Structure 1
Amino acid sequence: MPGLFAILASAINMLLGFLIRSIIVKFVTFFALFFIVHEFASVIASLLPSGNSVSTGIASIPTTVWYFLDLFGFSIGFPAVVSAAALRFIIRRIPVIG
């Protein structure tokens, strides 16, 4: 009978070890990463310029320059490049991935 109890206790111990090591630790780690990124995103968004300053800057561009910007697809390409650069910056700062 003591042998069966030892096997059962070993199995329960292994199951609890797996649960604590792999599931709970990963959950806490990824929740902390999510919380940090979520809070930093709100801080960064508050530091970005307002829409009024951006619209006045865009309004000062002459029509001849707008022609070439539209010709080269600047309205599609520039946001894609900026978001790709920001995403690259964020991904390289995550210790697990970058």
Structure 2
Amino acid sequence: MFGILLSAGNVLLGFVLRSVIAKFFLYFALYFFVTEAVSFLQAAGVFPTAASLSSSLGAIGADAWYFLDLFGFSTGAPMIVSAYVTRFVIRRLPVIG
């Protein structure tokens, strides 16, 4: 009986050490890398700022804004951009994509 319990404990300990702890460190490293990379890219000026976006959208005329509002551009554009960003991130994760 003691041998069976010892064997089950070894299997459980092996599972925890091989999969749970290894995945924890892998996901922590991925999270740390992504958060640091995004903050570095923001500081480097790679991402556009709100001022540059508002100035570029301010150049659109009133007649074009009428049709953009008619087609729901203010609702659809953020959805499309977030879907593309999500797709990009998911495809870059080695475990998922």
Under a length normalisation based on structure 2, what TM-score does the superposition of the two structures give? 0.81
Q: How many residues align?
A: 95
- 1:2-44 deviation digits (Å, cap 9, x = unpaired): x94x555544433321221122111111111211222222234
SS in structure 1 opposite 2:96?
coil
**2:32 aligned with 1:35:** yes
Match of 1:56 in 2: 55
Identity of aligned residues (%): 52
What's the RMSD between the two structures over aligned residues?
A: 2.0
Match of 1:68 in 2: 67
Structure 2 unaligned blocks of 5 or more:
none
**2:87 aligned with 1:91:** no
Separation in 2, partners of 1:8, 1:45: 54
- CA shift for structure 1 position 56: 1.3
User: Which of 59-68 and 8-17 deviates more?
Assistant: 8-17
Greater Rg over alpha carbons, structure: 1
